[in-house]
Amino acid sequence: MSELWPIIKTSLLIASLATLLVMLCSTLLALLLVTYRSFFLRMLELLIYVPMAMPPVALGFGLLQVLGPNTSIGSFMHEYFNIDIAFTPLGAVVAAFMVSFGIGLRAMRISLENIDPIHGQRAALMGANKLQVFYYITFPLCRSSFVGAAILVFIRSLGEFGATMVLAGNNLGTTRTLALAIWTDMQNPSEYSQCLMLVMISAILSLLALLCSELLLTRNK
């Protein structure tokens, strides 16, 4: 039972950081996609969707080949920035980010495409710069989609298993998330009660996230 809080804290921290990064990158890239039409951006978008279709274990193995301690990128990050990605909490965030980035990007791109550009054009004619147009017009119009996408990304990150297991490992207190803890306890019949409790906690956290989403969406209407 003493292991429950570190597992919950690790899961929430990793899912929250991944969600923050995904929604930031998704919003910025979605703005580029709806503003500029180019073959390069289209190919980049398709590549971002690929991890969602891959088996998570295969994705984790691929990330390990790119970001592992013996790779060029892994060695460079360790030597010059003293940052290790593989088998660390950062690796778990990267894994969650990769599997959920496509969800955030897809939702934000569709939302931005459905906004009538006349709103921004009128604001620009009145002297508003691009940042002001986004902050006062574009973002409020797509706030509901942003909140909904963030919740979906959070839930997906919270339930991530395969890529996290391969890239980040399964260390209690650092990278053992709820999904990894459930899998670990399933291997030991004596931990059945804790495994069942972890499943219930996972369901409760997901339900709370969805309820928060509904409350926020209701307030924004």
Answer for the pair 92, 167: CB distance below 8 angstroms, yes or no: yes
Q: Is the pLDDT of residue 98 over 90?
A: yes
Q: Is the pLDDT of residue 2 over 70?
A: no
Here the tokens at position 129 are: 């710069």
- Using DSSP, state whether 3 is helix, strand or coil: coil
Here the tokens at position 65 are: 């080949």
The predicted pLDDT at position 46 comes to 93
What global pTM score does this model have? 0.91
In tens, the pLDDT along 104-120 reads 999 999 999 988 888 77
Give the mean pLDDT of 191-210: 90
The predicted pLDDT at position 144 comes to 86
Structural domains in the chain, sorted by start: 4-220 (1.10.3720.10)
Residues 6+ apart with CB under 8 A from 194: 1, 3, 4, 185
pLDDT band at 1 (very low <50, low <70, confident <90, very high): low
In tens, the pLDDT along 5-60 reads 899 999 999 999 999 999 999 999 999 999 888 889 999 999 999 999 899 999 99
The predicted pLDDT at position 12 comes to 95
| C-alpha to C-alpha distance for 213 and 19, rounded to whole angstroms | 14
Over the chain, what is the mean pLDDT?
90
Phi, psi of 38 (to 5 degrees): -140, 155
